[in-house]
Structure 1
């Protein structure tokens, strides 16, 4: 799990960081139109994310799980046939969803004609990404996480280079043409997908000999027909569609309710509503999703591991994987979220220029990232043990809660209302997931209590230390400039990593996560007694 998570975390986090860093030049070149551009970008991408989940149909995760299952029982040839069958399905879904986006954009634009070309530009990415995603899932089924990580990185590099070049030329030639600039920026998703496909194609060919050897040596199950495999893929994929779309569903609820509720309240112009929407739906989202990408990486790793344990009927291994997954999540996510909250003012200023409202929303969103991330990991583990129906029921309960509390929270909290509504809903879902695990596997919470409390305590100490450093620097350096905020950010990050790392090593917390041998190695190298 650590090895797979390391690769997936590296790929996911670096791609997320690249996907956030582009904001600095992008917003600079868009100038006065940057806030409206951010809101338009967010609206287009929310719709795109939903269609992307439907287009891939949950097949990559389903393939990852099924391939791991058949590999676990030495039927490697069945996994290869699964891949081919899944490719046919996903390509067909890509064509269908891309067609709907191209010709139905006017019906999806939420009354804003500027959204229409953005949706159409994203249709091309939906056309090709299913084939890319299913190849990732297939390789993950063998626990080969490196190709997925590398493809994520290359995908972001291709995407960001294209979108920045296009935005620069459009805004330099036509300074008021911000909608075409956003449209080309979203079309960049297609360019990025092409880069990822090249990496995955190379990885597939590299491992082809090894896969052929495993298939030849493994059990040859002639009884599993292609039609049966396709049915299995679809059966496994349908819950994945709903569950993987969970966060996107919550974001779409925000998109289609926030403007209406704010308009009904009166006293706000369309520009003001778009500006507030951009603060939480795009600006804060881009930054806290870097932290959530840590959880997504762990989620991608845990599905095949749990599926293999389930295929082998190993109840103890499943319990161990779930406990390890939860502890690894706590160890990475809690200090990361509190660290982001501690440097929220500096990091927001670096990316978007100083804005008091934006900083406040980012600080709040950093804490909400913890239940968001736990949902990602918990849902993945539920799927890994084939509790799909139960997970869909939990998600439905969460969506109902979100719909009930959304309008009142927007009324009282404005831009923070949607974030809190999602956070509360996710907390309920997370409780139901953990309760379900405990009922089935009798999780050893008494053994997990000490390291969990250590993580919370050390994270809070780190938060206070970093916040004190930031406040001290602000006494001597202006916190409102991009360059000064960037240079203030560096000592803040160093202090945060040093404080948490020292406490984790000194008081043996890291032993619980990485094992005593690795922990002793780090203690020796860093001279921590």
Structure 2
């Protein structure tokens, strides 16, 4: 596996982890400020926002990085610069149009959500929060193209740091603003929710400032490449954007697919729950599914997201140079490391679902059960992201479109019937089925198109599964022992139990991985040299 992929993955994954962690942790004080009954209003704003945002920009960073990486590999740096200049204008227009669409469709979207007068929020309240969050679309698309341009040069730090700063500023504005509105001005918590969603715009402006500083930092280095580059190819802007759009459509689908699944839940969940006499709790249960537990479940997925962002330009580079061995080596390492890191996190969330939900929010059996059921789907989220990235890297875009829409179709068909039978778990099962179909077809296509066979990966996955089973037993017994001594009485005790179980699980999983040499083989020579000093591995 190339050092660029390892380094790029590490930088992006660390940045994504910190960003996701902050995106989860801020919910704890925010939940306390606005109250359990108002959290649902917040998620009603962010699902359509994430959908509009994904359509506006999700394809841009990865499509731009793929395009720039392709021409950089050929020594044509000027063509990438040509795209960058025109792309800034294009993304500004895209962002503005997305803002207008979301702003003026706020009320119709609210009408799709509001199915019963027994629900907690009115159409006007839902429409208002959607309008407030739409302003962020004016700034975020500009960030996307700059991030993609840097990634095309395999410079991943600007993306990671700008995401982190954007998140920190946004969260600061959310919490401070909500506190001022509720506790100082003594206004309605629902007013605080309006202010909180507007914080996305302020955070985006902060991210732009960070990217500008990186632009000034890397400008001399990139300028040298421009100066040594031949003149830009004669490709016209029409042909350039035809190629970029060809990349972008599957990228958009990959970025938009998770918000689309959530949007399906958003417009069908309340109707299905109302039909079985549960309209009064549908807003609350939907917020548990689409906001409270979803934030937790997406943390393990950051590993796959980091891999996919770093993997695409590297795979594209190998594919352009027809380096089949390089492609296979990268795929082997990607699947192994992703599952090595993701599976134990998912198991931990399942075993500690009650304690995790109580620590982050409050003691709630329903919420903990939703988290327990939802956590395993994170593995499917991750596999979909990585397999789609591989198909993007080898230009199999039509398959991404097909598998994404196929999985979504099954989600649409199954969601209401399954919700009527299994309530919230029904929506989770429908999501899992949709993703399983998409991932399964993606893997079949990868095996066929790349003639990809790796007995080593299968052996390693069996070993990883055994380690996870041992860790699961140890963590479960540890938690049982702690609960036998003293049931969880509050947030501090819940956190303490989570920490103890996490330490036990990490210690056992780490020891087994190091002792057998698996970790060293996955993470390279530096780890091997370090662990040999302590007698681990071979």
Return the TM-score normalized by structure 1. Answer: 0.96
Task: Look up the match of 1:2.
Answer: 6
Among candidates 451, 454, 461, match of residue 463 of structure 2: 454
- Tell me the CA shift for residue 511 of structure 1: 3.1
Q: Deviations over 1:474-496 (max 9, x none)?
A: 22233141111111221111111
- Tell me the CA shift for residue 192 of structure 1: 1.0
Q: What is the SS of the residue equivalent to 1:475? A: helix
Task: Look up the match of 1:251.
Answer: 262
Equivalents in 2 of 1:260, 1:525: separation in Å?
61
The answer to whether the aligner puts 1:167 opposite 2:167 as a matched pair is no
Equivalents in 2 of 1:525, 1:22: separation in Å?
40
Among candidates 230, 234, 238, match of residue 249 of structure 2: 238
- The 8 Å contact of residues 482 and 497 in structure 2, kept in 1 or not, is answered as yes
Task: Look up the match of 1:347.
Answer: 356
After superposition, where does 1:97-176 map in structure 2 within 5 Å?
Answer: 97-109=98-110, 110-111=113-114, 112-173=123-184, 175=186
Q: What is the SS of the residue equivalent to 2:231? A: coil
- Tell me the CA shift for residue 526 of structure 1: 4.3
Equivalents in 2 of 1:220, 1:521: separation in Å?
45
Task: Look up the match of 1:375.
Answer: 384
The answer to whether the aligner puts 1:305 opposite 2:314 as a matched pair is yes
Equivalents in 1 of 2:30, 2:497: separation in Å?
22
Equivalents in 2 of 1:501, 1:140: separation in Å?
31
Q: What is the SS of the residue equivalent to 2:485? A: coil
Gaps of 5+ in 1: none
- Tell me the CA shift for residue 372 of structure 1: 1.2
Task: Look up the match of 1:319.
Answer: 328
Gaps of 5+ in 2: 115-122
Equivalents in 2 of 1:143, 1:407: separation in Å?
44
After superposition, where does 1:76-95 map in structure 2 within 5 Å?
Answer: 76-95=77-96
- The 8 Å contact of residues 306 and 384 in structure 1, kept in 2 or not, is answered as yes
- Tell me the CA shift for residue 459 of structure 1: 1.3
Task: Look up the match of 1:206.
Answer: 217
Equivalents in 1 of 2:247, 2:415: separation in Å?
31
Equivalents in 2 of 1:336, 1:410: separation in Å?
27
RMSD, aligned α-carbons: 1.6
Task: Look up the match of 2:432.
Answer: 423
Equivalents in 2 of 1:386, 1:43: separation in Å?
35
Return the TM-score normalized by structure 2. Answer: 0.94
Q: What is the SS of the residue equivalent to 1:143? A: coil
Q: What is the SS of the residue equivalent to 2:376? A: helix
- Tell me the CA shift for residue 134 of structure 1: 1.0
Change (3 A) 1:122 1:264: same
Among candidates 460, 480, 492, match of residue 483 of structure 1: 492
The answer to whether the aligner puts 1:52 opposite 2:53 as a matched pair is yes
After superposition, where does 1:430-509 map in structure 2 within 5 Å?
Answer: 430-509=439-518
- The 8 Å contact of residues 64 and 140 in structure 1, kept in 2 or not, is answered as yes
Among candidates 386, 392, 395, match of residue 386 of structure 1: 395
The answer to whether the aligner puts 1:366 opposite 2:370 as a matched pair is no
- The 8 Å contact of residues 20 and 286 in structure 1, kept in 2 or not, is answered as yes
Equivalents in 2 of 1:356, 1:502: separation in Å?
34
- Tell me the CA shift for residue 57 of structure 1: 5.8
Task: Look up the match of 1:197.
Answer: 208
